Amino acid sequence: MSLSDQIKRTFWDAPPITRALVTASIVLSFPAHLLGIPSVGHLIFWRPYVFTYSRIPQIWRLATSFVLTGPEPPPIHLILDPHFLYRSSKSLETKSLRFSAPGEYFIFLFFVWNVILLLAGWYLGYFAFIHPFIMAMAYLDSVDNPNARAGFLIFTVPNRYSPWVMLALTFVMQSPYHAMVQATGIVAAHLYDFLTRVWPDFGGGRKIISAPVFVQRWFAPPPGVGTPRSYGTSFHQRPAAPAAPSSGSSWASGFNPLAGTSWGNRGPGRRLGGE
């Protein structure tokens, strides 16, 4: 198999949300960093340009700042960031049991997107969030698959330690400030895990975050079509057809308290000794 065929196969084997994220990251980052088209300055998060009344809000920055690679010098981040984004997102989308229902993974990404934007964007004043975004995925994956192996170019570690290895590398290779920004992803994912698993399972509370019905409809496959998972294929049953209306003159005309029992299946009785 040629390299191009292998890349195509890897791309199309990815689940839909992961494929969309990686595609957006590559399509935006390569021309922006290598050609300056569009300018990186038009893609990063800049609060005065997003939340403003004096000009048209540049709301696209809320999305592009989460998939734009960097800020390391290219081509390092152009290779590593899409790789880690693909690996972490695919593992969650295909292996995590908590995301087996349609739309649940999208809601997780939307939740951590809001928390990271609040902590890293507003509180810490940062402008690019792909690293805390990837960190949120890596942290939750380490909770769900702690015994897997995570590779870091020349070495591997148990998956439970991968977020902390990533954080240590950022601390050493960049700065404590960048590590603090990246750690907002851990905070976001841990908060999601607490609200959806720890609190309902161990605290006696209810699950606070779940996919609304309209989001489930966005991501639900057609009835009878399976969704590939790492542990098999999940099928979504076709909704049952509504029962035919009763032809009786009142609501009680079709009521049979013995239906489904051996007595309810018997025919009309006859009096002993009758004709």
- In this structure, of 6-10, 63-67, 234-238, 254-258, the range with the lowest mean pLDDT score is 254-258
Question: pTM higher than 0.85 for the full model?
Answer: no
Flag whether pLDDT at 84 surpasses 80.
yes
Convert the pLDDT of each residue in 129-173 to its tens digit: 999 999 999 999 999 999 898 888 788 899 999 999 999 999 999
* Amino acid residing at 33: H
Percent helix, strand and coil across the chain, each to the nearest 5: 55, 5, 40
Flag whether pLDDT at 233 surpasses 80.
no
* Domain parsing of the chain, residue ranges: 9-220
Flag whether pLDDT at 202 surpasses 50.
yes
Cβ partners under 8 Å of residue 221, min gap 6: 102, 227, 236
Alpha-carbon distances of 140 from 2, 162, 189, rounded to whole Å: 34, 11, 6
Whole-angstrom distance, CA of residue 171 vs CA of residue 157:
18
Domain 9-220 carries which CATH code? 1.20.1540.10
Alpha-carbon distances of 177 from 167, 170, 183, rounded to whole Å: 11, 9, 10
Convert the pLDDT of each residue in 12-51 to its tens digit: 888 999 999 999 999 999 999 999 999 999 999 999 999 9
* Residue 266, number of CB atoms within 10 A of its CB: 9
Convert the pLDDT of each residue in 64-73 to its tens digit: 999 999 876 6
